[in-house]
Chains A and B, each alone.
Chain A
């Protein structure tokens, strides 16, 4: 089976740093993606890890540990516009099939 676990909701203040964790159980795991989705909007791609370690893209970084079946998304210098849902998605090896977690709703407060 396939499963991805994320916290359902996280609250942080503007300017702070927040980490959203994702643990997965995916047979034939190939890589982990992160998407952002604002209410009423479509998911937009943030980051992808195929190898262990940290990938940095501006204020957003993503980390993967294959041995722990674990990844996280790190958001720095939080802004009000970062309030959204964040999804991790596991890609299955040799298939272009992505399994999404249930999402983490991030609330950024002033």
Chain B
């Protein structure tokens, strides 16, 4: 358990429905990331928050996807009008950010993910 939690762990929905996922990062972490992972592939970057500001969003992300991080704490990822191609594992990660010149690792701690199945 990394300290990052995601809810729900599994979601089955019908095509065309909207879904929302929640991520609770490690409390002192100011950076939060969303990734999507399909079977046999590495995580694919979706978006990134520094505190409450969404600083980066993948060009692969269609307008049906939106993410928020109100008050710089938990984050939500919403997918509108889901399609079968959205079926994947959605991973959230948080990081503290570099704290000095030698600690530029910015280690990301991943949550357990939300597995979405669109029928």
A positions within 8 Å CB-CB of B: 4, 31, 33, 41-45, 48, 50, 87, 89, 91, 95-103
In the assembled complex, which residues on chain A have CB atoms less than 8 Å from the CB atom of B106? Answer: 91, 96
Interface residue SS majority, chain A: strand
A103 and B111 form a contact (CB under 8 A): no
Evaluate contact between A42 and B42: CB separation under 8 angstroms. no
How far is it, in angstroms, between the C-alpha of A10 and the C-alpha of B105 when the chains are bound?
A: 27
Question: Which single member of A42, A96, A101 contacts B110 (CB below 8 Å)?
Answer: A42
Give the A-B pair count, Cβ closer than 8 A: 57
Whether B31 lies near A96 (C-beta < 8 A) is: yes
- Given the known interface contacts A42-B110, A42-B111, A44-B110, the answer about A103 and B31 at a Cβ–Cβ threshold of 8 Å is no
* Complex CA–CA separation, A43 to B41 (angstroms): 12
Q: Is the CB of A100 within 8 A of B42?
A: yes
Binding site for A on B (CB under 8 A): 2, 31, 33, 35, 40-45, 48, 50, 55-56, 91, 93, 95, 104-113
Docked-complex contact B40 and A103, CB < 8 angstroms: yes
Can you name 21 A-B residue pairings with CB atoms under 8 Å? A4-B42, A41-B112, A42-B91, A42-B113, A44-B110, A45-B108, A87-B42, A87-B43, A89-B43, A95-B56, A96-B55, A96-B95, A97-B45, A97-B56, A98-B45, A100-B42, A100-B43, A101-B42, A102-B41, A103-B40, A103-B41
